[in-house]
Amino acid sequence: MSATKSIHPEEKFKADKMGSRLFKVGLALGGAFLILSIILGASKSDHWRRFLHAYVIGWGFVMSIAVGSLFFVLSHHVARAKWGIVLRRLAEFMSLTIPFLGIVGLGFLIPVLAGNQNLYFWTEPTLHNETHPLWHHMHHKATWLSPWFFAVRYVVYFALFSGLAIYFARKSFAMDEAKDEAEAFKIWDHLRVASGPAIVVFALTTVFFATDLFMTFSPTWYSTIYAVNWFAGAMLATYCTLALLGRTLQQYGKLQHSITVEHYHDIGKYMFGWTFFWIYTAFSQFMLQWYGNMPEETVFYNYRMFSEWKWISLAVLFGQWAFPYLCLVTRWTKRILPLLMFFAVWQLVFHWVDLYWNIMPNAEWTVVGGHQMGPLAGVPEKHQIGFHAVDVTLLLAMVGLFIAGLGRVMKGNLMPVKDPKLGEALAFENY
């Protein structure tokens, strides 16, 4: 029989006013930096192209954490995992920010629908002219890559993500109100069964979501593993955020006896594991495309290896993978909490750098032979990073809005207090 523990009699597991505090702080932070970003964006002479790309990067950063949190919930139910039960409610809260982030995403979707052609190159009207050099690449994608059909798919993605997040969270909240253990176990078993098909829906939605929202920035390039790599980064960011959120709550007196160094140790294991999976998918994409040496595939790396972007490429390689991978391989790095928190912050920073590296090179469009050829065109050596303050202010704005959304839904218990397996989670130990 597995060891079990009861909730510590002095444990504080109620959200109380924590949610409202996070909401106020996040809203103030997000609002202030969003206004500053708009001012900075207005000072640029590129018709808001830089602003919109930076907006998507910052939004994609927090959206990846919300989507990753949903997978944390689903995977723990389907695997009947016990160690993470004390963290599952925090992941449920983060997944419930998805509907709010869907509204925040209208900040770039509405301009696209309104006819702004500075974000996605496939909105460029000359691409639909047979005289354009890229017409043979794009004409068969014209229906799929049209603003209104893009918007319809956006709504579908968020309907599916939000529906899954709300359904599983509400069932989990209902477990807290169960009259007896039998009722709680019935809900627990229902969630286990429902999580199977839910993961299939989640997987398909994530593939199309990442492909549509991020890979189509360069519509003539393609990769069948791009969405998987995006998902790997999202899961890495999710575990880092769980570590920081759990530790922050403990600093304010919450869950001090429930989340132990043993749980942080497992979070560290997953940080290490997802770091490995991220580099595995990243290298798989690079190796296959570079070895194949097909111009329509290698163009992605050509402009990131033979221009100023090579420095960001090296930063991603060593910052997102090599340094944390070598450090997190040890047991003690995961059990010394200040050190683990350092790596959680470190990898969140480089998760943003990775997204920046994926998206921002597409903000520089080039005219060749009188035709607008869009991103990744012309001489690679002439492509510059062109870093701007709005890149950071919009990231901070999105983080602030994510915190506000998190605070808005953070109510009631901070862990599922009547989960049938909670006792085993509280007694969890690493060996």
Taking residues 176-203, what's their average pLDDT? 96
413 near 100, Cβ under 8 Å?
A: no
**Percent of the chain with pLDDT strictly greater than 70:** 99
Taking residues 283-303, what's their average pLDDT? 93
Whole-angstrom distance, CA of residue 187 vs CA of residue 176: 10
Taking residues 327-349, what's their average pLDDT? 97
User: Which pLDDT score, from 0 to 100, does residue 139 have?
Assistant: 84
Whole-angstrom distance, CA of residue 372 vs CA of residue 409: 45
Taking residues 305-319, what's their average pLDDT? 96
Q: For residue 231, what are the β-bridge partners?
A: none
Its sign, for the CA torsion 338, 344, 350, 356, is: negative
Residue 341 has pLDDT above 60, yes or no: yes
Residue 295 has pLDDT above 90, yes or no: no
User: Which pLDDT score, from 0 to 100, does residue 72 have?
Assistant: 98
Q: What is the pLDDT of residues 26-72, one digit of tens each?
A: 999 999 999 999 999 887 667 689 999 999 999 999 999 999 999 99
Residue 1 has pLDDT above 60, yes or no: no
Q: What is the pLDDT of residues 398-408, one digit of tens each?
A: 999 999 999 99
Phi-psi region of 47 (alpha: psi -120 to 50; beta: other; left: phi over 0): left
Q: Annotate 306-345 with b (16+ C-beta within 10 A) or e (fewer).
A: ebbbeebeeebbebbbebbbeebeeeebbeeeebbbebbe
Q: What is the pLDDT of residues 131-185, one digit of tens each?
A: 888 888 888 888 999 999 999 999 999 999 999 999 999 999 999 999 999 999 9
The ranges assigned to domains in the chain are: 18-124+144-422
User: Which pLDDT score, from 0 to 100, does residue 134 have?
Assistant: 86
Backbone angles phi, psi at 368, to 5 degrees: -125, 125
Mean pLDDT of all residues belonging to the chain: 94
User: Which pLDDT score, from 0 to 100, does residue 84 have?
Assistant: 95
Cut 0.85: pTM above it = yes
Taking residues 369-398, what's their average pLDDT? 90
Q: What is the pLDDT of residues 75-128, one digit of tens each?
A: 999 999 999 999 999 999 999 999 999 999 999 999 999 999 999 999 988 888
C-beta contacts of 133-140 below 8 A and 24+ residues apart: 133/368, 133/369, 133/371, 133/373, 134/220, 134/371, 134/373, 134/374, 137/219, 137/220, 137/296, 138/219, 138/220
327 near 343, Cβ under 8 Å?
A: yes
The contacts of residue 129 (CB under 8 Å, 6+ apart) are 135
Quickly tell me which residue has 């950063």 as its tokens.
61
Residue 266 has pLDDT above 60, yes or no: yes
Whole-angstrom distance, CA of residue 145 vs CA of residue 121: 10
Taking residues 417-424, what's their average pLDDT? 95
Q: How far apart are the first and last CA of the chain?
A: 17
Higher pLDDT: 303 or 431? It is 303
Whole-angstrom distance, CA of residue 133 vs CA of residue 123: 16
